[in-house]
Amino acid sequence: ARDSGETMAAMAINNGVGPVAGSDWRYLGYKGGSENGVLSMSLLGQRKTDGKWLVVTASWNDADANVDTGRFVALVTRLLALAAK
């Protein structure tokens, strides 16, 4: 995917976590999906500090209830903050 400028641009339209969480990254691309009881987020990022590329992927499933989107995004945002260091 990193060789395709078109794919990289499309993934960066919405980084899934907002501008503040994305500010630690030179590039942050996102692909996610959801349905009742399932939420998934995958992010491709390039750190500003050293240019290293990293992937963060997380999924949450609950067969009995909808997933708490705010809580899930907060957890992924924290993972990104730790990975950016």
Quote the pLDDT of residue 16.
84
pLDDT, greater one: 80 or 20: 80
CA distance 39 to 66: 9
Question: Could you give the number of structural domains in the chain?
Answer: 1
User: CB–CB of 34/57 below 8 Å?
Assistant: no
Sign of CA dihedral 6, 10, 13, 15: negative
Quote the pLDDT of residue 71.
94
Quote the pLDDT of residue 1.
56
Range of the domain at 64: 5-83
**Looking at the predicted structure, is the pLDDT value of residue 56 above 60?**
yes
